[in-house]
Amino acid sequence: MLAKMFLFEWRYLIRQPSFIVTSSIFFLLTFFATVSDSVQIGGGGNIHYNGPYAIAQAVCIMLIFSMFLVVNFVASTATRNETTGMSEILYSKPINPVSYQLGRFLGSFATVATVFLFVPLGVLVGCFIGELAGWVDEDRLGTTHLSYYITAYVYIALPTLLVMSCLFYAFANKFKSMMGAYLIAVALFILYSVAGDLLSDPSYRTAVALLDPFGFRTFGEVTRYWTMYDKNNTPIELTGVLLQNRILWLVIAVVILAIFGGFTRKVSLQNKPTKDKAKTTDTGEACLDNRIDYKNQGINTRAHLLLRTKFEIKQVVFSAPFLILSALTVFSLIGPLIDPDGVFGTPNWPVTQQMVDLIGGATSLLMLIIITYYSAEVVWRERNSGMGDMIDSLPVNNITYWLSKLIALTLVMAILYVIGTIVTLINQVALGYFNFELSQYAIRLGYINLVPLLMSVVLAFFLQVLSPNKYIGMLLFVLFIISTLVLSNFGFSHNMFQFGGAPRVFYSDINTYGHFMTAFNWYMLYWAGMCIALSAITYGLWHRGPAQPLKSRFKRMSYYIGAPGRVAIVLGLVIFVGAGSYIHYNTRVINEYVIQDDRLDTQGEYEKTYGQYKEDHIPTITQTHAKVDIYPSERRIEAVAEITVENKSAEPLKKFLISKPSFSKDWSVEIDGGESHSYQARFRTAWFEFEQALQPGEVRKGKLTVTRAHEGFTDGGEDFSLVENGTFINNFSLFPSFGYRNDWQIRDKHERKKRDLAKLERAHKLEESQYYNESFFGKGVDFIDFEATISTSEDQFAIAPGYLQSEEVIDGRRVYHYKMNAPIKNFYSIMSANLAAKKVEYKGINIEIYYHPDHAMNVDRMIESVQDSIDYFTIAFGPYQHQQMRIIEFPGYRSFAQSFANTVPYSEDIGFITDLRDPENVDTVYYVTAHEVAHQWWGHQVGAANVQGSAIISESLSQYAALMVLEKKYGSDKLRKFLKYELDRYLRGRSREDIEEMPFMRSEGQQYIHYNKGSVVMMAIRDRLGEARLNKALADFLTRYKYQSTPYPTTKDLMAYIIQDTSPEEQTFVTNLFEHITLYDLKTKAVEVAELDSGKFEVTITIDAGLLRADGRGKETPEDFVDMVDVGLFSEDPEDLSVQSSVQYLQKHEIKTGENIITLIVDKKPKYVGVDPFVKLIDRDSADNIYRL
């Protein structure tokens, strides 16, 4: 019987239209994602589409969508007898429950597995046809190995599909309805989401990898540090955490299937639940009650609507599924609230803006699932319950049914938002934060989030009414969502093509809703017009009476909707067209909207047109007096920079390129003896030509003029620099620029190849000495004499680098005059805001912090960091060059801090709202502040030549300086967690490298190298050479190149200073870090502890060690090594930052390739033993360095 049931289910399901439809969808999605550059599911960059990583990633991504596949085939199989009414016939036969249920389950699972087989097949066929047709760049393909497809399918897809099939079949069979399956689907999605929130913390990654039912996070953990070479050549293996995950979830799923799958109870009519029957009776009685009420009140649409709405709300809200959804909503927030994400694992205060973002993010997927499911349930409830004909015969208008169901479903989402709000409010109270700002919850959740969801409900109702059954309607809605996402990559990304879409409303405590609400309101009006029309059509096509084909309902629609309906359709379309016209005028006429392909085409043409002039010399600005008028409420800046330029090249300068700044309405460049011409609007570029060439060393006066202003609104591409409160813009963005714009070039090598562009070099080679006189800021950027006069509205202050000369109010505007007393880099900021301020004087230096009044939590910590940094850097490297240091908060639209001369704009999101109360967390406020202060030495006192490795001098040395201040403040124990994060980010960064990883000294603007690797490298050198020797070398280096621009230093110069007066072994260590990509593989394999007669303890440690050399693509080659490496014993977990000092023993020991055995005699028995416990070396897996006894 088992075989017969299996074959019956298999044959039945593969003959269904849904089998063909879903198989086609899964095949076409992966096929087109493979042959199209616009849509990608797996791979990207230099990852081969047919490599093991890309194939497995495509499988993982599609597994998330396969949940609907399993529901359609497996869960529907479990409930088919009840939904079709066949249970009475089948249950009258003597059926073996095990053979019957197992055969049905295996048949449905085999169908699901067959459908999903089209995923790897789509990738395989896509690669084959794409290569033949020339659709896929040959660089994106490697050698075809069928084993890559088989292992991804067998190791990842089949176990996950089996797990989901077991769970869905068990709960659908238990509850005899699809509701159980839907709730399991939602629960799995939330579990997946919560696991993702925890994944950012390295200490949770193994647990998260085990908990992921889909295996996506598990796959991500297995391949976390895979390099480009690994991703293209290393097959997936069923070992380690992937094997453990597969076994764990298979055991869980099989146990649940065995308990709830119906294998142990006799299949009989008595097993049919009576609950469903009672529910049907209740529904019928409720409907009858409603009918009686209707008669009592007569044919009254308002009364009908009120009663019907109460009924619908009761059916939806007072039900077990809704209670479970409410619980799931709470659960979806628990993970982010218990372990909130933050910089280096340090959370933020639970400010309301972040709590609202958390609710929206945690429930976004849940809301789509609710709309998909409940739209089907409420529209088809009466027909599925068998009461459709009776209810349809009642004298109730169609609009009553439609509107009552719409209100009920909207209320479901609103209640879930209220639940989320309550949970976050409780969290705020629990964490001691009481500035609740309830209006934010109301406006952002109740309007900005809920209204687009309401529009999606209208669309879902419309699709359900068009469909012959609820499953087709659900499928149409899901396909619509997917198609919207896909089409956005084919030129339809404008929100006028995204149903219910609108430009994002960014919120900041400093600038509140800013100008973003205007665009959102117009888009909501636009889509409201469409929804009015769709609602009227839905009302006209509503199912009434016996089942009628769609064609018949369309013929009767005009009769059903009547004159009011026709007026509604016309009115809706008028609103839709009218608002759409206004949106089009704003976003495409008075503002520019460019799709990605057009933008790339323009960049390509720019390079072809002007690329031949990229090496041309340009004038160097040596003096600037900026006169800037800021009108915050109008979002307008009128600026003039009176400049002095000099030809610092060795050749006469006849002409050079100039570029118009973004968002500029008017602009001009004036220099004595020349004029601009040949402006090309497409490239925002013109020529400036002198009548008489500017001779070498010659100086001339000039003027840069610009009006930066905004009219109307845009569809994305917002100007975050100029806002109502919190304007922050630098001179490169504000004023016209000189010369060829390297930053406008296409970076992606595949996009360059499509446009016949030559290979792009990310940076000039370290050996190209012709660029040594050129600053890493770019061609023509040097030191300037600077002053600025800035006016703003009377309620705001304005700040630029320099010392305040005067402040006055003229004609209702506040005017500030700043002037520097020494040359600074031609890189300065202009800021205007209404903020509070705290000012202190420290050793003759004025320290000023400007902040939002509600963000005063960490102001004192910033001041302390500035003071400690100035003290340490002055002793270590040399004196601070200014008499002030100012930190100014700006809106969190941009999350960074940036160091200008004695001025540091600092985002509200990365320091001002950081919660520093937990002593175990890294003090990121103290660290980031110290890093920005360090730039006053590394970046401002000494620059770098515009060649490979330039960012090492400015960023890596600032990282080192900041970490030394952090260590002095908190001790070396506290530094371990920071370095673990830095090491992890470096290893993850190199795994995402899409061109080539460069050695440390040749970093080409690769942040994972000059920031993250830089921290580990510099601290390793400090550990080897000692703090005093390294600081002396850096101080000598700074003294040699301080304020020097002919030439600027390079990393070769830096390394020469570091290795001076070092031993051969130390030189080898430093050059290995600088010149090679070197990784260690250290592991504390075993530890044995024996108590001696003397009362001391003998600790025997077995350490496995290896060293790997990698090339730029990540291919690693083992090499022998012998080195001195730290070995430590600890009384407590070294991860516990709350322990002041747990170190019992820490000494360097000679470690060589292979197995090393070290024996120590200590006074106390350790609890933890580790090799390189403080993360001083670049270890591929530092987690196995520590051994717990």
In three-state secondary structure terms, 1023 is: helix
Tokens at 854, concatenated: 């509600």
What 8-state DSSP symbol labels residue 640? E
Any idea which of 216-225, 404-413, 479-488, 1059-1068 has the lowest mean pLDDT? Answer: 479-488
- For the CA atoms of 736, 739, 744, 749, the dihedral, rounded to the nearest 10 degrees, stands at -170
pTM of this structure: 0.88
Least confident of 101-115, 162-176, 324-338, 848-862: 324-338
DSSP label of 660 = P
Q: What is the pLDDT of residue 302?
A: 74
Helix, strand, coil abundance in the chain, percent, nearest 5: 55, 20, 30
Backbone angles phi, psi at 806, to 5 degrees: -160, 155
Q: Which value, to the nearest 10 degrees, does the dihedral of the CA atoms of residues 986, 987, 990, 992 take?
A: -110
CA proximity to 1167, closest of 1126, 1132, 1127: 1132
Q: Give CA–CA dist 721/620, Å, rounded.
A: 25
Q: Go through the domains of the chain in sequence order and give each one's CATH number.
A: 2-269 (no CATH), 308-580 (no CATH), 615-712+721-739+777-942 (2.60.40.1730), 1077-1189 (2.60.40)
Residue 750 pLDDT class (50, 70, 90 cuts): confident
* Mean of the per-residue pLDDT values of the chain: 88
- pLDDT of residue 645 exceeding 60, the answer is yes
Cα-based distances in Å from 1131 to 593, 974, 1139: 61, 16, 10
Assigned token pair, 1100: 């025997």
What integer pLDDT is reported at residue 180 of this predicted model? Answer: 66
Is the pLDDT at 269 greater than 60, yes or no?
Answer: no
Res. 333: pLDDT tops 60 = yes
Q: Indicate if the pLDDT at residue 498 is higher than 70.
A: yes
Q: What is the pLDDT of residue 776?
A: 92
- The answer, yes or no, to whether the previous bond of 1047 is cis (omega within 30 of 0) is yes
Per-residue pLDDT band at 53 (split at 50, 70, 90):
very high
- Return the ∠ at Cα 801 (arms to 800 and 807), rounded to 5°: 55
SS3 (DSSP) at 882: coil
**What mean pLDDT do residues 378-390 have?**
68
Contact 1054, 1014 (CB under 8 A): no
In sequence order, the β-bridge partners of residue 668 are 705
288 pLDDT tier (thresholds 50, 70, 90): very low
Per-residue pLDDT tens over the stretch 814-831: 999 999 999 999 999 999
Q: Which of 131-145, 168-182, 789-803 has the lowest mean pLDDT?
A: 168-182
* Residue 983: predicted pLDDT: 93
Query: Given a cut of 90, is residue 527 above it in pLDDT?
Result: yes
Separation in Å, CA 1068 to CA 597, 607, 1015, 1065: 48, 42, 19, 5
pLDDT value of position 36: 77
Tens of pLDDT, residue by residue over 542-569, are: 776 666 777 777 877 877 778 888 899 9
pLDDT over threshold 90, residue 43: no
Amino acid letter for position 860: D
Question: Looking at the DSSP assignment, which residues form a beta bridge with residue 1129?
Answer: 1145, 1169
Look at the block and give the residue holding tokens 């913390």: 201
CA dist 394 and 291 (Å) reads: 7
Predicted confidence band at 272 (pLDDT cuts at 50, 70, 90)? very low
pLDDT tens per residue across span 581-621: 999 999 999 999 998 889 999 999 999 999 999 999 999 99
Asked whether the predicted pLDDT for residue 1182 surpasses 80, the reply is yes
**276 pLDDT higher than 50:** no
Residues 6+ apart with CB under 8 A from 593: 494, 587, 714, 715, 716, 717
DSSP 1003: -
**What tokens were used for 131?**
């290569």
Please check whether residue 910 is in contact with residue 932, taking contact to mean a CB–CB distance below 8 angstroms. no
Asked whether the predicted pLDDT for residue 932 surpasses 80, the reply is yes
Least confident of 180-194, 279-293, 319-333: 279-293
pLDDT at 641: 97
Per-residue pLDDT tens digits for 656-667: 999 999 999 999
What b/e sequence results for 491-505 when a residue is b if at least 16 CB atoms lie within 10 Å of its CB, and e otherwise? eebbbbebbbbbbeb
Measure the N-to-C terminal CA separation of the chain; round to a whole number of Å: 55
**Mean pLDDT (whole number) for 433-456:** 95
Q: What is the CA radius of gyration of the chain?
A: 34
Span 1161-1183, average pLDDT: 91
Residue 126, helix vs strand vs coil: helix
With pLDDT > 90 as the criterion, what percentage of the chain qualifies? 60
Identify which of 284, 275, 370 has the alpha carbon closest to the alpha carbon of residue 82: 275
Q: Alpha-carbon distance 775 to 779, whole Å?
A: 6
Q: State the pLDDT at residue 117.
A: 95
Q: How far is CA 253 from CA 165, 184, 256, 882, in A?
A: 8, 12, 5, 66
- What is the per-residue pLDDT for 992? 87
Please give the Cα distance from 1051 to 380 (Å, whole number): 70
Tell me how far apart the alpha carbons of residues 878 and 527 are, in angstroms, rounded to a whole number: 62
| Cα→Cα distances 981→225, 347, 955, 1077, 1175, Å | 14, 15, 17, 19, 10
Gap between the Cα atoms of 1036 and 591, Å rounded = 52
Q: What is the pLDDT of residues 1103-1125, one digit of tens each?
A: 999 999 999 988 999 999 899 99
Q: Tell me whether residue 843 is exposed, middle or buried, using C-beta atoms within 10 angstroms of its C-beta: 0 to 12, 13 to 18, 19 or more.
A: exposed
Q: Cα–Cα distance between 793 and 684 in angstroms, integer?
A: 31
Question: What pLDDT is stored for residue 908 in this prediction?
Answer: 93
pLDDT-derived band of residue 195, with 50, 70 and 90 as boundaries? low
In 3D space, the residue among 592, 608, 862 whose CA is nearest the CA of residue 711 turns out to be: 592
